[in-house]
Amino acid sequence: MPELNYSQDPSRPELSELIVLKDAPFNAEARQTDLVKNYITPLPYFFCRSHGPIPDLNDTHSITIKGLGVRNRECHYTVKDLKEKFKKHHVMMVMQCAGNRRDGLHRVKDTKGVIWGAGAIGNAVYGGCRLKDVLESAGIDTKLCNIGQLHVAFESVEQCEEDKCYGSSIPLSKALDEFGDVLLAYEMNHEPLTRDHGHPIRVVVPGYIGARSVKFLKTITIQDDESTSYFQRLDYKILPEHVENDEQASKYWGKIPSIGEYNVQSYVCSPPDGQNKEAAQNVQVQGYAVSGGGRAIQRVDVSGDDGKTWVEAQLYQPSAEKKESVHTWGWCLWRATINTKRRTRIVSRAVDTAGNIQQEYPVWNYRGVLNNSWRTVEKEQNSVL
Amino acid sequence: MPELNYSQDPSRPELSELIVLKDAPFNAEARQTDLVKNYITPLPYFFCRSHGPIPDLNDTHSITIKGLGVRNRECHYTVKDLKEKFKKHHVMMVMQCAGNRRDGLHRVKDTKGVIWGAGAIGNAVYGGCRLKDVLESAGIDTKLCNIGQLHVAFESVEQCEEDKCYGSSIPLSKALDEFGDVLLAYEMNHEPLTRDHGHPIRVVVPGYIGARSVKFLKTITIQDDESTSYFQRLDYKILPEHVENDEQASKYWGKIPSIGEYNVQSYVCSPPDGQNKEAAQNVQVQGYAVSGGGRAIQRVDVSGDDGKTWVEAQLYQPSAEKKESVHTWGWCLWRATINTKRRTRIVSRAVDTAGNIQQEYPVWNYRGVLNNSWRTVEKEQNSVL
C-alpha cells in the first residue's frame, strides 16, 4: 500500500463553517443549526466525507464500463462525453453518511469510525446523466432475464488505507429502475461538483447511504455479485450488539447484508442538540427528518418532557407533495412550538409512510451505523443534560 | 345501502383451527403457535379478512379495465381469459392485515376495528398472471411519461357497510415495476383460490398491507389520483396519537398518506404470546418476522429478561438467500434458545435490511394499524403477565 499523500488536497477557505473531525482524510460535518436554515443545503454547510487524498481530475477523465452484457466487453466515456451525449437530469435528494449520529452510539460504548454528530447529512440538487441511460448505451439490455441477480460495482480514483481504492456497489435493478433516479452527477446545487464532493463525476444513489454514492468515479462493472471492496464487504453493516471488536466482526461480515437503503431518522437541530436548560413556554424547535428508499415522512412528533407528551410538528417536504417522482428523495424540515421542562433534552421522533418509527433507546453496533434512536442516551442513564 | 345478506357465505368446516373474531363479515385469525409450524402457511391456518358477504363467482366472471391509456377506453377479460392468455407466475409473499396486533394498541386505549391478535398474517404462494402483463395487453404503455403520477384503482364485487363496494388502489409504478410482482391471482398454495380468499380472482400486492390486495376483483381503473374508496381515503392511515374519535379523524384523513408498504415486524408465537410463568433455562422460542416493501429481515433479537439482554435468533428466510427476486416478499421464521426470568414476557425485535427496528413501546393510533412495538404494554405498566 503506497503512503497516502494529502499535500494536493484543496484548500478549503469556503468551508470554515463546518466542524472538521479529521483533516486527512478530510471529514467535516455541518453545525446542526446551519442545516435547518435552507431546504437545499448550501455547499458551505454540506458535510464532506472522504477516505483518502482528494484527486485532481478534469473533464478528459475517462470512465470505463465493463462486465456482463457490455457491448465489446468494455467501453469508455470521458466526462465530456457524458455531458454532451446524454440528457441532463436533476435529482433533489438527501446525502447521508451511514455514520450520521454515530456519537449517540459511541456514548454507549466505543465504536469504530469517525465520531459524527447529527451533521453528516445534507439535501442537494444533483445534476448529471442517468446511470440507466449510460448503461443502456453501453449495451445493457433492460430486458435481461437475470437483472434481479446482478450488481453494478463502482471503483473510484480515490486511494485509501483500507483497500486499493474506494469501491462499492448497488443492485443492477436499482440502477435500471425507471424511478430509481441514480445519476452520474457532475453538478451539485447547479454548480460543477467541487473536488471535495467528487469532481469531475460521482455516482449519486438516492435513498441509499452515502457510501454507495462513489466519488471520482473510474470504473463501472456489471457483475454477478456485490463489489468485493472493503467498503461493501467489511464495513457499512449492522453488526449484532455482542460483536465488540475486529476479531469478532471478522466472523460476521459474510453473514450480514450490506446496507443500501437507510432507516427513518429525525433530529432536533435548533435549539442545538435539543438542549434546553430552563423550563420555558412556546419554545421554537426545528429539525430535519428523512427515510430511506424514497419513503416520505408522514409525521414528526416533538417532546419537551422526556417523551411523556408529544406535539405534532409542521412539516416542509415539497418533494412528497409535488409527486414529481414516485419516491421522495428530499428531506423534510420541520418546526414545532412546545413547552419544555427544566434540564430536559428536546427530542423528536419521525414516522415514515411505511409506518417505521424511530426507536427510543440506541441499540449499539460496533461500526456505529444507522443510529436513529430518539433518545441520545442509554437506558440506564437519565436523559437530562 | 342495501342490507347485507350473509346467508350465502361458505360453510367453513376446514377452518375450525382459526379463532373467529367476527362471523359476519367473516374475520378469523390464526393461533400463533400454528403460524410457526409451516414456512408456507396452510389454508386452515390462514387468516380471513372480509368486509361483507362472500360473493359466489366462477371463471366466466369478467374484469373490466378502463381509464387513462387503456385501448378503446375499456376492455374486458373473463377469469378464463386471464388463465389462458397470460403466462402464469408464482409469488411467495406475506399477506398481513394492517390491523395485525391491533390488540396491543387497543390495550392502551380503545381503537376502531376488529381486535386482531398477532395472527392476521400468513405466508402463501400465489399463482396468477402479472398485472403488468394484463395492463400492457390493455394498451398501457410502460414508457408513458407520467406513470409516476398515476394510480391503479381496484373495485371488488364485495359489498360492504362502509362504501358501495370494497375498493383500493396502488401507484401505477408499483403495478408496472418489473420487480413489483403484483399478480391477478387465481391460485393460493397451488390450489384454486377459495371463496374466503377472493375466488375467482384477486389482486396480490407483495410488500403492501393486505387492504390493497383486493379480492373478488371487478374493475381496474388507471386514474390520476388514488382510489376514492372509503378504504383508501378514510381508513388504513396512521392518525396522530391525539386523534381519538371519528369526528377528530375527519379533519385528518385528507392530510395523511394512505398506507402502502408496511413496517418491520416480529412476534413470539411459541410459547404463545411469549408467556412464560416460571424462570427456566434453555427455553425454545419461535416466531415470525417480516418487513414491508421487499426489505428482508437481517436480525431478530430475543429477550427473556424484559429487554436487558438479547439473544440472536436463527433465521429461516429462504427467499432472502436464493436471490430469485430483488425483493424478499416471504417472511422469516426464527428460533432461539434463551433463559427466562419468572413472570417475564419473552419478546423479540427484528431489524430489516434498511436498519429499521421495532419500537419498544406502542405508539397508539385510533385505527390501530401497523402496531410493531416489541413490548405489548404501555410505558406506565409493567411488562409482567
- A189 shares a domain with A80: yes
Residues 6+ apart with CB under 8 A from A250: none
What count of CB pairs under 8 Å joins A to B? Answer: 117
Per-block mean pLDDT, blocks of 10 residues, chain B (385 long):
88 97 97 98 98 97 96 95 98 98 95 97 98 96 82 97 96 94 98 98 98 98 96 97 96 95 98 89 97 97 95 93 80 97 94 97 96 81 43
CB contact under 8 A, B259 and A355: yes
Q: Rounded to a whole number, what is the distance in Å from the CA of A46 to chain B's nearest CA?
A: 24
Q: Rounded to a whole number, what is the distance in Å from the CA of A85 to chain B's nearest CA?
A: 21
Quote the CA–CA distance of B302 and B344 in Å, as a whole number.
Answer: 12
CB contact under 8 A, A178 and B173: yes
Residue of B148, B262, B361 lying closest to A360 (CB–CB): B361
Residue of B264, B351, B363 lying closest to A238 (CB–CB): B351
Residue A375 maps to a domain: no
Quote the CA–CA distance of A222 and A190 in Å, as a whole number.
Answer: 30
A-interface mutation test, from B100, B357, B364, B367, most A Cβ less than 10 A away: B357
CB contact under 8 A, A263 and B357: yes
CB contact under 8 A, A370 and B355: yes
Chain A residue numbers touching B356 (CB-CB < 8 A): 263-264, 356
Chain A residue numbers touching B179 (CB-CB < 8 A): 148, 173
- B119 shares a domain with B214: yes
Provide the grid cell at A275.
438542549
Quote the CA–CA distance of B52 and B342 in Å, as a whole number.
Answer: 44
B279 sits in which H/E element? none
Beta-carbon count within 10 A of B79 CB: 22
* Residue B291: closest CA among B370, B346, B377, B183: B370
Quote the CA–CA distance of B22 and B115 in Å, as a whole number.
Answer: 10
- A315 shares a domain with A236: no
ipTM value, please give it: 0.94
Chain B residue numbers touching A263 (CB-CB < 8 A): 354-357
Query: Of A255, A277, A310, which residue sits at a domain end?
Result: A255
Residue of B241, B298, B323 lying closest to A256 (CB–CB): B298
Query: Of A208, A223, A255, which residue sits at a domain end?
Result: A255
Range of the domain at B127: 44-255
Q: Rounded to a whole number, what is the distance in Å from the CA of A162 to chain B's nearest CA?
A: 24
Q: Rounded to a whole number, what is the distance in Å from the CA of A83 to chain B's nearest CA?
A: 23
DSSP per-residue codes, B136-161: HHTT--TT-TTGGG-EEEEEES---S
A-interface mutation test, from B356, B378, B383, most A Cβ less than 10 A away: B356
Cα dihedral A372, A375, A376, A380 in deg (nearest 10): -120
- Is pLDDT at A325 greater than 80 in this prediction? no
Cα dihedral B252, B253, B258, B259 in deg (nearest 10): 60
Q: What is the 3-state secondary structure (H, E, C) of B44-72?
A: HHCCEECCCCCCCCCCCCEEEEEECCCHH
- A95 shares a domain with A219: yes
- A298 shares a domain with A168: no
Beta-carbon count within 10 A of A5 CB: 11
Residue B31 maps to a domain: no
Residue of A263, A298, A358 lying closest to B354 (CB–CB): A263
Q: What is the 3-state secondary structure (H, E, C) of A103-118?
A: HHHHCCCCCCCCCCCC
Residue B199 maps to a domain: yes
Chain B residue numbers touching A324 (CB-CB < 8 A): 148-149
Residue A27 maps to a domain: no
Sheet with A151-156, strands from edge to edge, namely A74-78, A62-67, A217-223, A151-156, A167-171
CB contact under 8 A, B312 and A240: yes
* Residue A315: closest CA among A341, A345, A280, A351: A351
Tally of structural domains, chain A = 2
- A77 shares a domain with A226: yes
Residue of A296, A323, A363 lying closest to B357 (CB–CB): A363
Tell me the three state secondary structure of residue A87: coil
Chain A residue numbers touching B361 (CB-CB < 8 A): 360
Q: Rounded to a whole number, what is the distance in Å from the CA of B385 to chain A's nearest CA?
A: 22
**Residue A322 — pLDDT band, cuts 50, 70, 90?**
low
CB contact under 8 A, A356 and B264: yes
* Residue B276: closest CA among B336, B335, B339: B339
Strands B202-204, B217-223: parallel, antiparallel or unpaired by DSSP? unpaired
- B323 shares a domain with B245: no
Chain B residue numbers touching A298 (CB-CB < 8 A): 238, 256-257
Chain B residue numbers touching A299 (CB-CB < 8 A): 238, 240, 256
- Which residue type, as a one-letter code, is found at position B298? Q
Residue A206 maps to a domain: yes
Locate the chain A residue with the closest alpha carbon to B315.
A255
Question: What is the DSSP code (8-state) at residue B20?
Answer: E
N-term to C-term CA, chain B: 45
CATH of the domain at B85: 3.90.420.10
- B290 shares a domain with B185: no
Locate the chain B residue with the closest alpha carbon to A307.
B379
Residue B9 maps to a domain: no
Query: Of B255, B280, B306, which residue sits at a domain end?
Result: B255
Quote the CA–CA distance of A257 and A226 in Å, as a whole number.
Answer: 10
Q: Are B346 and B384 in contact (CB under 8 A)?
A: no
* Residue B71: closest CA among B160, B5, B150, B134: B134
CB contact under 8 A, A259 and B355: yes
Chain A residue numbers touching B212 (CB-CB < 8 A): none
**pLDDT tens digits, one per residue of A275-292:** 888 899 999 999 999 999
- B194 shares a domain with B298: no
**pLDDT tens digits, one per residue of A331-353:** 999 999 999 999 899 999 999 99
Chain A residue numbers touching B260 (CB-CB < 8 A): 353-354
Provide the grid cell at A313.
410538528
**pLDDT tens digits, one per residue of A50-98:** 999 999 999 999 999 999 999 988 999 999 999 999 999 999 999 999 9
Residue of A262, A310, A355 lying closest to B354 (CB–CB): A262
CB contact under 8 A, A147 and B178: yes
Residue A60 maps to a domain: yes
Quote the CA–CA distance of B67 and B73 in Å, as a whole number.
Answer: 6
B314 sits in which H/E element? strand B314-316
- A210 shares a domain with A304: no
CATH of the domain at A297: 2.60.40.650
Q: Are B231 and A272 in contact (CB under 8 A)?
A: no
- B239 shares a domain with B324: no
For range A202-222, the mean pLDDT: 98
Chain B residue numbers touching A325 (CB-CB < 8 A): 148
Residue A25 maps to a domain: no
Sheet with A48-49, strands from edge to edge, namely A19-22, A27-29, A48-49
Q: Are A221 and A167 in contact (CB under 8 A)?
A: no
**Residue A145 — pLDDT band, cuts 50, 70, 90?**
confident
Quote the CA–CA distance of B250 and B254 in Å, as a whole number.
Answer: 8
Across the strands, what pairs with B311? Answer: B302
DSSP per-residue codes, B158-202: ---SSSSS-EEEEEHHHHH-TTT--EEEEEETTEEPPGGGTTT-E
- B274 shares a domain with B242: no
